[in-house]
Chain A
Amino acid sequence: MACPALDTVTPLFEKYCYSCHGPEKQKADLALHEMALTIRDATDALHWQDILDQLNAGEMPPDEPQPSAEDLAQAIGTITDALHEARQQFRTADDAAVLRRLNRREYHATVEELLGVQINIDDLPKPHGGAIDTVGSQQTFRARDLESYYETGLELAAMALYWATQPRLESTVVREEGKDRNRLAEAAYEVYQKLDEMKATGKSREEVGLTQEQFNRFSPTVAGNGSGVYQLYRKYWERNEPLMDRGTMMAHVGGIGQLQVYVPLDPRARYEVRAALGVREDAGRRRSVRLTDYRDKVIGATMVSGTLDAPEEHHFSYRPSFPVGYRGRVSDDGKPVNVNPFRYHTGGYVPKVGDNFLVLFSEDTGAPHRIFNGFYETGTPEETIFGEWMEVEGPIYDPPSRFELLLKKHVAYRRPESVTITDVETFLTRFGNDLFRGREVPVELLSKLVGVFEMERADGRDVLGALEKPVALLLASPRFLYLNEPPSNEGEEELDGLALASRLSYFLWSSPPDAKLYHAAKNGNLTKPGALRAHAVRMLDDLRARRFHEGFISQWAHLERFDSLNIDAGVLPEFSPGYRFSAREEPIHFFARLIRENLGVRHWIDSDVAVVNRLLAGRYGLPLPKTETFEPVVLPSESPRGGFLTQAAFLASGTMGNRTSPVIRGSLIREIFLDDPPPPPPPNVPELEIAGSELRSVRHLVELHQTRAQCASCHTRIDPLGLGLEHFDTLGFWRESEVIDNGIRVWNPARREAIFEIDDAGSLPNGESFRNLAEMKDLLLERQDRLARSLLEALMTYAYGRTVGFADREQIDAILTELADSGDSEPYRMRDMILAVIASEPFREP
């Protein structure tokens, strides 16, 4: 392997450093002229790191003459790159494949599939993995993990045993008329009419027909009764009265103006949700709604295009998920759902206590309304979205899970006294066989499990209860938690059929093989030529492949940055839950389409089709899809969109506070598109401080940043790339000019704003410049081989469960050559690339 060279720094050293650390003097015993001008090993690396640290900290040279900023930047850049490269090379020592554990996503998918209950992934044991969560060598396992796997196993077992024996409910349609949501507001309106009458005429409470309770609750003259909110209700009613007999106007005031349906939710089922919505013509930009479930999780979001007179129907699919252990109707912190506090005041609406619910919100709830009305978009009405009705159909069940089938067959259909130890053994053997991905439950383990069952029975637990611990033990067993991948024969270099089947299914589905794949694995067909590919093709078209789409792209494209975005919706109201949901989904559906249609990697850079839902389409200025799902939309020729590069999630990932960050955007482009991740920032570079509170454009800040040699050394090769995306704002929407504010909320007089012209010219790390986004895309397209390499290496890492290093170079080059010369105009097709990974030798190796 080539060692990174450092010859170019010698002239600078000669001129500025040798006087103290050269042939004449060796202050601090450092003789730079004798140092190796390369990095061959860890010792070299440490020596150069020390020198780099000194330069970065600005400590050397201590006196005059000082090198020019440009020369210093160049030397720092050279050493930084060489060290970075060396680090990558030395990494190969860790590339050995090691036993890997199911990561959190895989554990989640696996237990959902096998146990047949939908659970919240957040409740599962926390992962402590590396950059890609399938890599075994970067996973850790601690005592607390062991305990939490067992505890989680107990809860899961109890939950699965409960639901597997519950009857399936008849599917029904629960419908809520929008107009029924208005009773509270109407009641407030009526009471206030009477209160006004009392005030105007001097009549008594009894004379106007108010009860004492109503008076106490609603009168502003009674201290501390919270009548403020009822006055808001009243105004809401007055504003919207003409519509109130047909539906509801979605409001910002709690308790009214949302469409809300209570249904008993079943963790084995899905539901279909429909709603008829319209939007006022003068609504401005507030035309979107989101659907959320009982724990405020966004299920879908859409743009409303129906009118007040002709609402249009929208349709969402919903699969509820629950806290581990869920056995009934509870709120998100595990307590019974409270009674709706408002029922006392109206006597009208009483919610079905204890049921779970789905709510349809206007998308601007959550941000203070006055932002929209008073500042953000002057002159628009307070309520913009009309909800005529909403209905929920369900539960709609999938076929029973393996767990349920086996439990019913061997245990649950019998009377408790007739369940024999053999039945229990059979159940545990067969279900254990599923959990262990086709491998036998060892006899010793089985007898121990049966022992636990008997002990539990002796302690007075019923048959199902006594099964909790044995099932939990199976779920905490290393045979379940680790993907055991033995070679087909001792000493051989190929996985056996079962291990290969698991590797394939965990690559494409993040869950265990299905019956077909097991079948092929067990009868030896899977290792025959072509068989693996045939299964892979079939599996890529299965719905379960969504887990691969999501798991892979989230990690390769660093969407965790988007997930942890910290933007104040009070400053930027469009940063709404519906937007977050939609933007996060877009790249997943985009990737799915590239695979489905076997398109080339160039589409990541630029594409003539976007895959969007109605909310994003609306915000991107595209024609709206017909349904609530993500659909391919052909981009109009004038649209700046196209490719992952211009998707909201990617662009917003490069946001820092209330500004775009060309630094983050540039770094991401280098890593994702150019396979050239910049080195991490060095320690001890003094923070550059800019005096005063003048608002500056992002481009200006970036330029100031580069006046310091220590910063410029790397940032001149990062930031100019990010500047090419300056026409997209912090949330990834198109802008003609850049508005910089001081981070103060809009209604605060201390808020200041400045507007700057956008200039999206920039350059690549090699200095090649572009004048705008289109030219930048062209330059990236010329280098699409780098993107292909970035994708391929990440796919291999994800699929093999180990880091890909120097030893894999040849394999990578061979695959890339093959994908580039496929004889058609579209090199590096996505589906072909995935199949090439599966066909590669390491995929079959332990």
Chain B
Amino acid sequence: MNLNPRFGTTRRSLLRLAAQGVSVPLLGSLLPAPARAAVAKRGKPVRLIFLSLGHGHYEDHFYPSAAGRFSEIEIPPGLEPLRNHFDDITMVSNLSNVKNRQPHGGSESLLTCADVTGFPGFAKHNSISCDQVAARAIGQNTRYESFQLDSPGGVEEGHDGIAMSFREDGSPMPGHVHPRDVFHQFFDSGMSAEAKLDHIRKRRSILDILHEDVSGLAKGSTAEDRDKLDEYFTGIRDVEKRLAREESWIGVPKPKATLPEPSPSMEGEASVRAMLTMMRLAFQADATRVVTYRLPDTSVLTGIGVSHTPHTLSHYGSSSELRDLNLVRTKKWTGILGDFLTELRSAKDLCDPEGGTLYDNTILFFGSGLRAGHRTHSIPCIIAGGGIPHLKHGRHHILSEENTPAANLWLTMLRAVGCEIEQFADSDGDLSEIFA
């Protein structure tokens, strides 16, 4: 039977992707061993920010129909709030998230490009997300290897699964949901170094006890049960790693808070803005260089008086009023993005010997794994920041191949931060065509 998956170059087939992806990709080969050295060479830090909405946008509101300079093409109304930033951003069409097979949300496989529901087996499995590949390369000399932010509602906010960042073994890394928690992570608590050390020492002794306990339990168990207990072991090891990292950073004080502690009841737009500001402050303090954020779409919508969920809005077909509300939503988000870009532009990068701004040394992705409705073809994609060396902003690109894997963008971003890798997930090249 002729099923050799050698398809023509004009059509990317799922068959081929499946052939590569159904057995979990050979991750080891993707991991950037010499990447740290590469970063050292650059001298300037580069940060990665991934902002994802679960759902996409209405066709006519967000996606320009023509390629070219923003000043020369027709601008859809949802992008109006970004008008002052058109020289700071790039839009890309024709990137696709083809592995997303149960597209009820656009975040779970966005950064991993894995088929999370793949055959055989019912249990979900995922693979490493690109932010985690980057974290290994550029996250080693910061307090946090990477940082995950999340929305309070999860699935209700239009996201699928429980995270957008995934470890090498495909296990999810749920993020901090409340600005208040993030505040306490990033800013100085006033605790002395001795007190912190004492805390870590005590925590270690607790872990030791649990470690021994679970070892004893595993002895009498069946192989399947031991697999399950392994998760517990891994949990202990991960906490140990975190404590070790915490310990090595004890001598370096956390920055003093320059904004008030977020109130426990903070939600919606205020919470998004607080999160983004703290992200900016964390970058200035070089606390981390890799951040992912599953944006709280429903909370923000509720806050501006739109009572539909993003999912309902994404099925905009039934009335023009739903479509109008889509525009309200899209503009709200592009407005928030614009303000964040302004913030990055006006923030000095304290780690940059050349005195650049955070904007200059950042690569920001804003988008989703869904275009609109349940469509995974040509996902929304805005790239901002000066971190990709050959990329000149100010244009909308329509990639020459339909359904170019989103992994090609991730590969491009990973290389820009110094990962010397050949391939990421199902990538079949980089996005150098947008460098022109």
Q: A46-B119, A142-B173, A452-B209 given. 12 additional CB < 8 A pairs?
A: A46-B19, A50-B13, A90-B120, A99-B228, A141-B231, A333-B265, A486-B221, A566-B307, A566-B309, A683-B103, A687-B315, A701-B318
- Judge if A310 is at the interface, Cβ distance under 8 Å: no
Q: Say yes or no: A693 contacts B377, CB within 8 Å.
A: no
Cα–Cα distance between A582 and B309 once the two chains are bound (Å): 24
List B179-234 residues whose CB lies under 8 Å from chain A.
205-206, 209-210, 212-214, 216-217, 220-222, 224-225, 227-229, 231-232, 234
Return the chain A residue nearest B234 by Cβ.
Answer: A143
Q: Say yes or no: A144 contacts B174, CB within 8 Å.
A: yes
- Judge if B398 is at the interface, Cβ distance under 8 Å: no
Binary contact track A17-48/B, C-beta < 8 Å → 1, others 0: 00000000011111100111000011001110
How far apart are A218's CB and chain B's nearest CB, in angstroms? Answer: 30
Q: Say yes or no: B15 contacts A683, CB within 8 Å.
A: no
The tally of CB-CB contacts under 8 A between chains A and B is 225
Cα–Cα distance between A682 and B1 once the two chains are bound (Å): 28
Q: Say yes or no: A46 contacts B22, CB within 8 Å.
A: yes
Binary contact track A112-133/B, C-beta < 8 Å → 1, others 0: 0000000000000010101000
- Judge if A568 is at the interface, Cβ distance under 8 Å: yes
Q: Say yes or no: A28 contacts B320, CB within 8 Å.
A: no
List B281-332 residues whose CB lies under 8 Å from chain A.
298, 302, 307-309, 312, 314-321, 325
How far apart are B253's CB and chain A's nearest CB, in angstroms? Answer: 23
- Judge if A137 is at the interface, Cβ distance under 8 Å: yes
> Per a CB cutoff under 8 Å, which of B156, B234, B236, B319 touches A564?
B156
List, in ascending order, chain B residues with CB within 8 A of A452's CB.
Answer: 205-206, 209
Given A50-B15, A146-B232, A564-B156: A691 in contact with B320 (beta carbons within 8 A): yes
Return the chain A residue nearest B377 by Cβ.
Answer: A684
- Judge if B264 is at the interface, Cβ distance under 8 Å: yes
- Judge if A140 is at the interface, Cβ distance under 8 Å: yes
Q: Say yes or no: B232 contacts A683, CB within 8 Å.
A: no
> Per a CB cutoff under 8 Å, which of B1, B238, B308, B318 touches A31?
B1
Given A31-B2, A657-B307: A683 in contact with B121 (beta carbons within 8 A): no
Given A28-B11, A31-B1, A688-B317: A683 in contact with B307 (beta carbons within 8 A): no
- Judge if A681 is at the interface, Cβ distance under 8 Å: yes
List B1-50 residues whose CB lies under 8 Å from chain A.
1-8, 11, 13-15, 18-19, 22
- Judge if B432 is at the interface, Cβ distance under 8 Å: no
Cα–Cα distance between A528 and B209 once the two chains are bound (Å): 38
Cα–Cα distance between A145 and B372 once the two chains are bound (Å): 34
Binary contact track A426-446/B, C-beta < 8 Å → 1, others 0: 000000000000000010110
Cα–Cα distance between A333 and B261 once the two chains are bound (Å): 14
How far apart are B303's CB and chain A's nearest CB, in angstroms? Answer: 13
Return the chain B residue nearest A83 by Cβ.
Answer: B119
Residues of A within 8 A of B (CB): 26-31, 34-36, 41-42, 45-47, 49-50, 53, 57, 86-87, 90-91, 93-94, 96-101, 126, 128, 130, 136-138, 140-147, 150, 333-334, 442, 444-445, 448-449, 452, 469, 473, 476-479, 481-482, 484, 486, 564, 566-568, 570-571, 656-657, 680-693, 695-696, 701, 742-743, 803, 846
List, in ascending order, chain A residues with CB within 8 A of B162's CB.
Answer: 128
- Judge if B239 is at the interface, Cβ distance under 8 Å: yes
- Judge if B123 is at the interface, Cβ distance under 8 Å: yes
Return the chain B residue nearest A805 by Cβ.
Answer: B122
Q: Say yes or no: A478 contacts B232, CB within 8 Å.
A: yes
Q: Say yes or no: B242 contacts A448, CB within 8 Å.
A: no
Cα–Cα distance between A274 and B304 once the two chains are bound (Å): 40
- Judge if B101 is at the interface, Cβ distance under 8 Å: yes
- Judge if B102 is at the interface, Cβ distance under 8 Å: yes
Q: Say yes or no: B224 contacts A97, CB within 8 Å.
A: yes
List, in ascending order, chain B residues with CB within 8 A of A333's CB.
Answer: 264-265
> Per a CB cutoff under 8 Å, which of B11, B13, B118, B221 touches A99?
B221
List, in ascending order, chain B residues with CB within 8 A of A35's CB.
Answer: 1, 3
- Judge if B171 is at the interface, Cβ distance under 8 Å: yes
- Judge if B374 is at the interface, Cβ distance under 8 Å: yes
Q: Say yes or no: B14 contacts A136, CB within 8 Å.
A: no
Given A46-B15, A93-B120, A445-B213: A469 in contact with B265 (beta carbons within 8 A): no
How far apart are A137's CB and chain B's nearest CB, in angstroms? Answer: 6
Given A140-B171, A146-B235, A571-B307: A57 in contact with B377 (beta carbons within 8 A): yes
22 contacts between A and B (CB under 8 A): A26-B2, A29-B2, A29-B4, A41-B120, A46-B22, A90-B121, A128-B172, A136-B228, A445-B216, A452-B206, A484-B217, A566-B298, A566-B308, A570-B307, A657-B312, A681-B374, A685-B373, A687-B314, A689-B316, A689-B317, A693-B320, A742-B319
Residues of B within 8 A of A (CB): 1-8, 11, 13-15, 18-19, 22, 100-104, 118-123, 155-156, 162, 171-174, 205-206, 209-210, 212-214, 216-217, 220-222, 224-225, 227-229, 231-232, 234-239, 242, 264-265, 298, 302, 307-309, 312, 314-321, 325, 372-377
How far apart are A93's CB and chain B's nearest CB, in angstroms? Answer: 6
Cα–Cα distance between A696 and B317 once the two chains are bound (Å): 12
Return the chain B residue nearest A693 by Cβ.
Answer: B320
Given A140-B172, A687-B375, A696-B318: A47 in contact with B3 (beta carbons within 8 A): yes
List, in ascending order, chain A residues with CB within 8 A of B318's CB.
Answer: 690, 696, 701
> Per a CB cutoff under 8 Å, which of A91, A476, A484 touches B210?
A476
List, in ascending order, chain A residues with CB within 8 A of B5's CB.
Answer: 29
Q: Say yes or no: A743 contacts B307, CB within 8 Å.
A: yes
Q: Say yes or no: A142 contacts B122, CB within 8 Å.
A: no
Cα–Cα distance between A829 and B10 once the two chains are bound (Å): 60
How far apart are A494's CB and chain B's nearest CB, in angstroms? Answer: 14
List, in ascending order, chain B residues with CB within 8 A of A150's CB.
Answer: 206, 210
Q: Which of A53, A126, A147, A684 is packed against the most chain B CB atoms within 10 Å?
A: A684
Q: Say yes or no: A93 contacts B121, CB within 8 Å.
A: yes
Q: Which of A478, A570, A701 is packed against the most chain B CB atoms within 10 Å?
A: A478
Q: Say yes or no: A94 contacts B317, CB within 8 Å.
A: no
Cα–Cα distance between A34 and B237 once the two chains are bound (Å): 51
Cα–Cα distance between A29 and B6 once the two chains are bound (Å): 6
Cα–Cα distance between A684 and B238 once the two chains are bound (Å): 39
List, in ascending order, chain B residues with CB within 8 A of A682's CB.
Answer: 374
> Per a CB cutoff under 8 Å, which of A94, A145, A566, A691 touches B235?
A145
Cα–Cα distance between A570 and B122 once the two chains are bound (Å): 41
Q: Say yes or no: A477 contacts B374, CB within 8 Å.
A: no
List, in ascending order, chain B residues with CB within 8 A of A128's CB.
Answer: 162, 172, 174
Given A47-B15, A146-B232, A477-B210: A96 in contact with B224 (beta carbons within 8 A): yes
Q: Say yes or no: A94 contacts B121, CB within 8 Å.
A: yes
How far apart are A699's CB and chain B's nearest CB, in angstroms? Answer: 13
> Per a CB cutoff under 8 Å, which of A42, A100, A567, A743 touches B321?
A743
List, in ascending order, chain B residues with CB within 8 A of A96's CB.
Answer: 224
Cα–Cα distance between A514 and B206 once the two chains are bound (Å): 30
Cα–Cα distance between A401 and B307 once the two chains are bound (Å): 45
Cα–Cα distance between A151 and B351 once the two chains are bound (Å): 36
Q: Say yes or no: B4 contacts A683, CB within 8 Å.
A: no
Q: Say yes or no: B212 contacts A448, CB within 8 Å.
A: yes
Q: Say yes or no: B239 contacts A143, CB within 8 Å.
A: yes
How far apart are B125's CB and chain A's nearest CB, in angstroms? Answer: 11
List, in ascending order, chain B residues with CB within 8 A of A476's CB.
Answer: 210
Cα–Cα distance between A742 and B3 once the two chains are bound (Å): 51
How far apart are A48's CB and chain B's nearest CB, in angstroms? Answer: 10
How far apart are A294's CB and chain B's nearest CB, in angstroms? Answer: 15
List, in ascending order, chain B residues with CB within 8 A of A846's CB.
Answer: 222
Cα–Cα distance between A571 and B104 once the two chains are bound (Å): 27
Given A136-B228, A683-B374, A690-B318: A473 in contact with B206 (beta carbons within 8 A): yes
> Per a CB cutoff under 8 Å, which of B19, B101, B209, B237 touches A683?
B101
Q: Say yes or no: A469 contacts B317, CB within 8 Å.
A: no
List, in ascending order, chain A residues with CB within 8 A of B238's CB.
Answer: 142-143, 146
List, in ascending order, chain B residues with CB within 8 A of A442's CB.
Answer: 213, 216
Q: Say yes or no: A87 contacts B119, CB within 8 Å.
A: yes
Q: Say yes or no: A685 contacts B224, CB within 8 Å.
A: no
How far apart are A380's CB and chain B's nearest CB, in angstroms? Answer: 25
List, in ascending order, chain B residues with CB within 8 A of A41's CB.
Answer: 120
How far apart are A489's CB and chain B's nearest CB, in angstroms? Answer: 12
